[in-house]
Homo-oligomer: A and B are copies of this chain.
Amino acid sequence: MSDSRVKVGIVGLGTVGSGTFNVLTRNAGEIARRAGVAIEVVHVGARRDNPRCDTSKVKVSRDLMAVVDDPEVDIVVELIGGTTLARELVLRAIANGKHVITANKALIALHGNEIFAAATEKDVDVDFEAAVAGGVPIIKSIREGLSANNINWLAGIINGTSNFILTEMREKGRSFADVLAEAQQLGYAEADPTFDIEGIDAAHKLTILASVAFGIPLQFDKVYTEGISQLTADDVAYAEALGYRIKLLGIARRVPAGIELRVHPTLIPEERLIANVNGVMNAVMVHGDAVGSTLYYGRGAGSEPTASAVVADIIDTARNIVLDAANRIPHLAFQADQLSDVPVLPIDGVETAYYLRLMATDKAGVLAEVTRILSEAGISIEAILQKPVGDRDRVPVIILTRPVLEKKMNAALARMRALPEIDDEIMRIRLESLDH
Verify if A150 is at the interface (C-beta below 8 Å from B).
yes
Question: Per-residue CB proximity of A127-141 to B under 8 Å, as 1/0?
Answer: 001000001110011
Verify if A290 is at the interface (C-beta below 8 Å from B).
yes
Instruction: Name the residue of chain B whose CB is nearest to the CB of A23.
Output: B290
A330→B215 contact, CB < 8 A: no
Verify if A243 is at the interface (C-beta below 8 Å from B).
no
A150→B334 contact, CB < 8 A: no
The interface size of chain A toward B, counting residues with CB under 8 Å, comes to 62
Select one of B19, B146, B215, B298 contacting A293, CB under 8 A: B298
Contacts of A34 in B (CB 8 A): 147, 215, 330, 333-335
A315→B145 contact, CB < 8 A: no
Shortest distance between the CB of A208 and any CB in chain B (Å): 16
A291→B135 contact, CB < 8 A: yes
Question: Per-residue CB proximity of A271-314 to B under 8 Å, as 1/0?
Answer: 00100110000010000111111111111000011011111101
Verify if A319 is at the interface (C-beta below 8 Å from B).
yes
Contacts of A330 in B (CB 8 A): 34, 36
Of the listed stretches A217-225, A321-329, A342-350, A351-359, name the one at the interface; the rest are far from the partner chain. Answer: A321-329
Select one of B149, B283, B335 contacting A36, CB under 8 A: B335
Give bound CA distance, A144 to B305, whole Å.
15
B305→A292 contact, CB < 8 A: yes
B292→A273 contact, CB < 8 A: no
Within 8 A of B (CB), among A148-170: 148-150
Shortest distance between the CB of A209 and any CB in chain B (Å): 15
Question: Per-residue CB proximity of A172-201 to B under 8 Å, as 1/0?
Answer: 000000000000000000000000000000
**Known pairs A289-B27, A308-B291, A335-B36; A137 contacts B145 (CB<8 A):** yes
Contacts of A316 in B (CB 8 A): 144, 147
B148→A140 contact, CB < 8 A: no
Shortest distance between the CB of A423 and any CB in chain B (Å): 38
A297→B297 contact, CB < 8 A: yes
Q: Which of A36, A150, A293, A334 has the most CB of B within 10 A?
A: A36
Verify if A33 is at the interface (C-beta below 8 Å from B).
yes
Shortest distance between the CB of A339 and any CB in chain B (Å): 9
Shortest distance between the CB of A436 and any CB in chain B (Å): 13
B30→A150 contact, CB < 8 A: yes
Verify if A338 is at the interface (C-beta below 8 Å from B).
yes
Contacts of A276 in B (CB 8 A): 273, 276
Select one of B149, B215, B291, B298 contacting A291, CB under 8 A: B298
Verify if A31 is at the interface (C-beta below 8 Å from B).
yes
Give bound CA distance, A135 to B404, whole Å.
32
A298→B295 contact, CB < 8 A: yes
Shortest distance between the CB of A341 and any CB in chain B (Å): 13
Contacts of A215 in B (CB 8 A): 33-34
Shortest distance between the CB of A128 and any CB in chain B (Å): 14
Give bound CA distance, A149 to B310, whole Å.
11
Shortest distance between the CB of A5 and any CB in chain B (Å): 16
Shortest distance between the CB of A303 and any CB in chain B (Å): 9
Q: Which of A34, A129, A141 has the most CB of B within 10 A?
A: A34
Contacts of A314 in B (CB 8 A): 148
**Known pairs A148-B27, A295-B297, A298-B295; A338 contacts B305 (CB<8 A):** no
Q: List 29 A-B contacts (CB under 8 A).
A: A26-B289, A27-B149, A33-B215, A33-B334, A34-B215, A34-B334, A34-B335, A36-B330, A36-B338, A135-B146, A135-B288, A141-B141, A141-B145, A141-B296, A146-B312, A147-B311, A147-B315, A273-B297, A288-B308, A290-B307, A290-B311, A292-B298, A292-B305, A294-B296, A295-B297, A295-B298, A296-B296, A297-B297, A319-B329
Can you list the 10 inter-chain pairs with the closest CB atoms, starting with the nearest?
A: A137-B145, A148-B311, A294-B298, A135-B291, A291-B308, A295-B297, A290-B308, A33-B338, A290-B304, A323-B325
4 extra interface residue pairs, beta carbon distance < 8 Å, beyond A31-B147, A148-B309, A290-B307:
A147-B316, A148-B315, A291-B305, A292-B298
